[in-house]
Amino acid sequence: MLPVASLLILVPLIFAAVTFLTKTKGQAAGLGFTGSLATLGLAIYAYLNFESSTAAMQFFESMTWIPSLGVNYSVGIDGISMPLILLNAIVIPLLILYSWKEDRESPNRFYGLILTMEAAVIGVFVALDFVVFYIFWELTLIPLFFMVNIWGGEKRAHASYKFFIYTHVASLIMLLGIFGLFYASWQQTGIPTFGIRELIAQFQFFESGLLKDAIFLSIIFGFLAKLPTFPFHSWLPDAYTEAPTAGSVLFILLKIGGYGLFRISLPMLPNTGNPELMIMMLGMLGSFSILYGALVALRQKDLKRMIAYSSLSHMGYVILGAAGLVTLSVSGAMFQQFSHGLIMSILFMSAGAIQTSTGTRIINDLGGLAKKMPKLTVVMMVGFMASLGLPGLTGFIAEFLVLAFSYARLPGFVLIALLVIVITAAYHLWAMQRAMFGVYNEKLGDIRDINSMQVFSMAAIALLVLYFGLNPSPVLNMMISNSEAIVSLAAALGV
């Protein structure tokens, strides 16, 4: 069998390197697309050989790297990472198609960075060693920084630095926690290791409750800031909005914060000094993010900024479901990551297309676009309806699972989230009505609908949103196996 986990990192990385060397736009885009297709092929190969019914690590590879510190290059794929790898592998080629006809400076760097990003994100998903994990974690910063900084909007410099510094500081705090975990374990066992699973297993034997809490909190802080959640979200609206469309979509595909939550934080949680308190804290952050993001979104005049806050609101479900800590609520949270990646890609692509066509994103300056952009309107409608949680589309499956199964543990927070559903519908429909319906705003002149490649790429994502909304099991079953493993750890400890 192929060493798929490593190839999933190597292939996009090699294609990225070659893409950087190309001279023309055609070469860069073509090579980028080929690289992303090759990665998709690998991801599909992995999926076809993947056993959904087990929580065990599959496609495991390991090599010694720095023996004296217990650093290994070890990678593998399980039900937590497989859906997210598929998400990236599916959306990236479509994203390249979407931006195929756009003219921009240095296309070689543009497509090279997209592939670098894909390699880095998949690297985080497959890493089973904290050193490897952290290297890829930090590597994701670089393409995103340049994406915003080079091809961003007017305030790109400010937005890119803000994002970089903010999440970098959060990452350093996370690193602090990782070191704490490493040293405490070394002290106890006498054998140094950076293995993620080994360190989590050792975590329960630490004697000091305070130390455990400190380690848990500093690691989860890195994840919460990356996710992001209220109140650590300030980098998000600026970065998402200033980024070019491709950059915004890459931000959306950056599911590493939520991934860390499931891979590292949730298995540690039952062993912390006060698990009930941690659960309450997460539940509160989740439901507050849902409420807060929706309320701020209601006040936005800029379509893209509204979508950015909407994204914040939706990511709250990931935390809420994780805090619910029963099999189906955790699966729902994982499914929300997958679903959010698809839905928000459509939304950011729509906002991008509107800006390219009309030159503005201010909702009140638009109006009646449906008449001139009928194709965009159809796919955008699917995206908006999915985002407001319409059944039959993926968003509903995730939200229903999170709400219905977190209720037993966190009824108050679930009720808050339920109240927000109306607000969520309100800002989506308000934006749709103002921007797309009504009388066409003639000041915008003669504008064009999205091109055929954009139709293809957005419609393909929309179809996936519909397909997995009607038949979530292929993805959900992988998640359920691993959620069960996480939850049974907690249940064994009476949490």
Partner 1 sequence: MVKTALEEFAFLIPILPALAFVITFFFGKKMPAGGAIFPILAIAGSFVISFMITLRMLGNPEEVISQSHSWFAVLNFGVLIDPLAAVMLSMVSFVSLLIHIYAVSYMSHDPGKPRYFAETALFTAAMLSLVLSDNILQFFVSWELVGLCSYLLIGFWFEKPSAAAAAKKAFLTTRVGDVMFLTGIIILTSDLLKLAGGFQDGTYLLRFDEIFSYIPQLSALQANIFGFEISHLTIITLLFFGGAIGKSGQFPLHVWLPDAMEGPTTVSALIHAATMVTAGVYLVARTFPMFIAAPDSLMVVAYLGGFTALFAGTMGIVMNDLKRVLAYSTISQLGYMMLGLGLGSVIGLEAVGVSIFHLINHAFFKALLFLCAGSVIHAVGTQDMRELGGVGKVMPITAVTMTIAALSLAGFGIPGTLIGTSGFFSKDPIIEAAYIFGEHSNNWIPYLFSIAAAFLTSAYIFRLIFMTFTGKPRSNYHGHESPAIMTVPLAILALFALVFGGLTRTGFMAFLEETFTNSFVNLNIGNLAGIGRNELIGTTGNEPLLILWLPLIVALAGLAIAFLIYYLRVVKLGPLASMKNPIYRLLYKRYYQHEIYTEFLSLGIVYGVIAFLTQVIDVIIDSIVEAFGIITVGVSEELRKVQTGVVQNYATAVIAGVGLLIILVKLIMEVI
Identify residues 407-426 at the interface with partner 1 (CB under 8 A).
407-408, 411, 414-415, 418-419, 421-423, 425-426
Q: Return d(Cα 299, Cα 41) in angstroms, integer.
A: 42
Count residues contacting partner 1 (CB under 8 A)?
67
Please say whether the beta carbons of 251 and 83 come within 8 A.
no
CB of 317 closer than 8 Å to CB of 288: no
Q: What is the dihedral of CA 460, 465, 466, 470, to 10 degrees?
A: 140
Rank residues 36 and 406 by Cβ distance to partner 1 and give the closer one: 406
Q: Does position 155 bind partner 1 by CB under 8 A?
A: no
Nearer to partner 1, 10 or 459 (CB): 459
191 or 422: whose CB is closer to partner 1? 422
* Torsion sign, CA atoms 252, 117, 172, 67: positive
- Rounded Cα gap, residues 69 and 131, in angstroms: 10
Site string for partner 1, 247-286 (x = CB under 8 A): ----------------------------------------
Contact region for partner 1 (CB under 8 A) — 76-84, 89-97, 348-356, 392-400?
A: 392-400
Q: Is residue 348 a contact partner of residue 340, using CB atoms and an 8 Å limit?
A: no
Whole-number minimum distance, CB 51 to partner 1, in Å? 19
Which residues in 323-362 contact partner 1 (CB under 8 A)?
Answer: 328, 331
Which residues on neighbouring strands pair with residue 58, listed in sequence order? Answer: 77
Asked if 463 interacts with partner 1 (CB under 8 A), we say no
Q: Considering only residues 175, 281, 444, 466, which one is a binding residue for partner 1 as defined by CB under 8 A? A: 175
Which residues in the 204-223 window bind partner 1 by CB under 8 A? 208, 210-211, 214
391 touches partner 1 by CB under 8 A: yes
- Sorted by sequence, the CB contacts under 8 Å of residue 17 that are 6+ apart come out as 112
Q: Is the Cβ of residue 264 or residue 369 nearer to partner 1 in the bound state? A: 369
**77, β-bridge pairs:** 58
- Specify whether the CB–CB gap between 236 and 141 falls below 8 A: no
Helical (H) or strand (E) element with 395: helix 394-406
In what helix (H) or strand (E) does residue 72 lie, and over which residues does it extend?
strand 71-77
**Residue in this structure with the two tokens 């309320």, named with its chain if needed:** 295
359 or 411, CB closer to partner 1?
411
Cβ-proximal residues to 215 (8 Å cutoff; 6+ apart), any chain: 177, 180, 181, 184, 203, 206, 268
Q: Pick from 151, 235, 240, 338: which binds partner 1 (CB under 8 A)?
A: 235
Distance CA 59, CA 48 (A): 12
Q: Which is nearer to partner 1, 103 or 207 (CB)?
A: 207
Residue 203: count other Cβ atoms within 10 Å of its Cβ: 20
Q: For residue 187, state whether it binds partner 1 (rule: CB under 8 A).
A: yes
State yes or no: residue 26 binds partner 1 (CB under 8 A). no
**Residue-wise over 2-41: b if at least 16 C-beta within 10 A, else e?**
eebbbbbbbbbbebbebbbebeebebbbbbbbebbebbbe
Residue closer to partner 1, measured from CB, 62 or 471: 471
In the complex, which residues of this chain contact partner 1 (CB under 8 A)? 161-162, 165-166, 172, 175-176, 179-180, 183-184, 187, 208, 210-211, 214, 231, 233-235, 292, 295-296, 298-299, 328, 331, 368, 370-371, 385, 390-392, 396-397, 400-401, 403-405, 407-408, 411, 414-415, 418-419, 421-423, 425-426, 429-430, 432-433, 436-440, 471-473, 476, 480
